[in-house]
Structure 1
């Protein structure tokens, strides 16, 4: 069952695109991508796990091939994204599952886990942060926008949406950049270049402060429910520091923490290592 299927589903009037592989009777694993990517970031990982798991990787609302309604019709916030993805899991029959969270996928997945702790069989956090100490100084321009959501501060973030910024996110901290396929960042830049996509992403930069505000609630969920957790981290990430991975042990003492010598998009260079770690962790 290693074949990947590319599907869309109606989630209460919202069209979500997703890729799926593995036997429907196998243990379920939900894969949640981050900025500025889509479900395609799991293109190398899925075939390595499809013999063992039923995998689903949706494109978050406003990303990839999922619907991107006008901002006048949909509020681009992490609460809204998590609500759609929560309902998505119900529509496709993911009633009990492990979740792989990366970047924006972390505040999405943690909202769902805290709301439905009984559904979560494990968490794999790959550079998916839930602690203040995990935020690097690279967040300072975005923090300035949180503190003063003026148009100049908003416009100052547009450099983060430029093609060269996307390439930098993929290659920073990677020992051998020839290992990073141009397919991933080229597709991301295509999606970012669509009309109106920039304003959606700027809205989400501004709303990321809601995730930081929820860090104490996420941590309380970790302490109260002690989900099995694997933090597997590109240790050269310019946005989410290794301290954010280590912090999980504060609330989940038996959390497994592994560091990889790579950057933010660790799957681009270490898909095989991450797949092996997941297989062992969820065995």
Structure 2
């Protein structure tokens, strides 16, 4: 198998520069990869080459993340609704009209909002620790976030700031990864994320988004209705040791999508760091069987 190159590109949406990775033949089935907090399209660096010979992959950095522009909070309304709308406009800017979604963490509510608005565009969903159910929320990890959502004060902001510190980010990468897989984790990943999270203006950007996360809970019934009515093919590949989005969130998809395929992997929140080849194989098998090729 020849490895096709990943290209690092930018486009402009609403006057903001959006960075993205792209690989694979333009006429191949499309995959839109949406990353989570606190990372960027960097999280897909191992997955993209494994699929680029047979899929057209595009992975943007959300506004405020990675190499994309990060306007101040008084210049852009950092909400999940706005990021989803911006993502829809991004797909139009790069010429994506139908695609399967890969969603993780923040990418899940962004991608599912996009699916609600444009269900005809979404051919399938791969969710890797990307939650849509109340039981998927890990109680301990979510306690400070829920407190901030309930009331934003200096006292509730402080513990949430710690989540995007170097130690807080490293915790997200390491927690739940068994000892036999721990040396597969590259420290470059959390140092990369922490450096970007430490940039000027990030405090306001990230606090605004975390404070808005409750708006996603309000949409959980709509997400479930979308699953039931669309019958969208769905693959859940989940790090079973994740304490942010726990395995019950993966199993819950079967309630509304009885044909959902769920695989729990012996790893944590950032499953691609340890299991990219396994996830790529599961995705390729799933998409080949479940998504018809458009003539």
Q: What TM-score do you get using the length of structure 1 for normalisation?
A: 0.98
**2:148 is the alignment partner of 1:145:** yes
How far, CA to CA, are the matches of 2:69 and 2:204 in structure 1?
15
1:59-89 Cα distance to aligned partner (Å, 9 max, x none): 0010000010111110111111111111000
Tell me what 1:67 maps to: 69
**2:46 is the alignment partner of 1:44:** yes
**2:225 is the alignment partner of 1:220:** yes
**2:22 is the alignment partner of 1:20:** yes
**How far off its partner does 1:158 sit?**
1.4
**How far off its partner does 1:12 sit?**
2.7
**Alignment RMSD (CA, Å):** 0.9
Tell me what 2:163 maps to: 160
Which deviates more, 268-277 or 171-180?
A: 171-180
Tell me what 2:235 maps to: 230
How far, CA to CA, are the matches of 1:278 and 1:108 in structure 2?
20
Instruction: State the secondary structure of the residue aligned to 1:124.
Output: strand
Tell me what 1:53 maps to: 55
Which of 189, 193, 198 is the equivalent residue of 1:188? 193
Check conservation: 1:174, 1:261, Cα contact below 8 A: yes
**2:186 is the alignment partner of 1:203:** no
1:115-139 Cα distance to aligned partner (Å, 9 max, x none): 1111111000000000001001110
**How far off its partner does 1:155 sit?**
2.2
Instruction: State the secondary structure of the residue aligned to 1:269.
Output: helix
**2:80 is the alignment partner of 1:83:** no
Check conservation: 1:161, 1:198, Cα contact below 8 A: no
Structure 1 runs of 4+ with >2 Å offset: none
**2:34 is the alignment partner of 1:32:** yes
**How far off its partner does 1:156 sit?**
2.7
Instruction: State the secondary structure of the residue aligned to 2:54.
Output: coil
Structure 2's unaligned 5+ residue stretches are 289-295
**2:131 is the alignment partner of 1:117:** no
**How far off its partner does 1:203 sit?**
1.1
How far, CA to CA, are the matches of 1:219 and 1:26 in structure 2?
29
How far, CA to CA, are the matches of 1:157 and 1:122 in structure 2?
33
How far, CA to CA, are the matches of 2:206 and 2:74 in structure 1?
15
**How far off its partner does 1:166 sit?**
0.7
Check conservation: 1:135, 1:244, Cα contact below 8 A: yes
Which of 254, 257, 262 is the equivalent residue of 1:257? 262
**How far off its partner does 1:227 sit?**
0.3
**2:104 is the alignment partner of 1:102:** yes
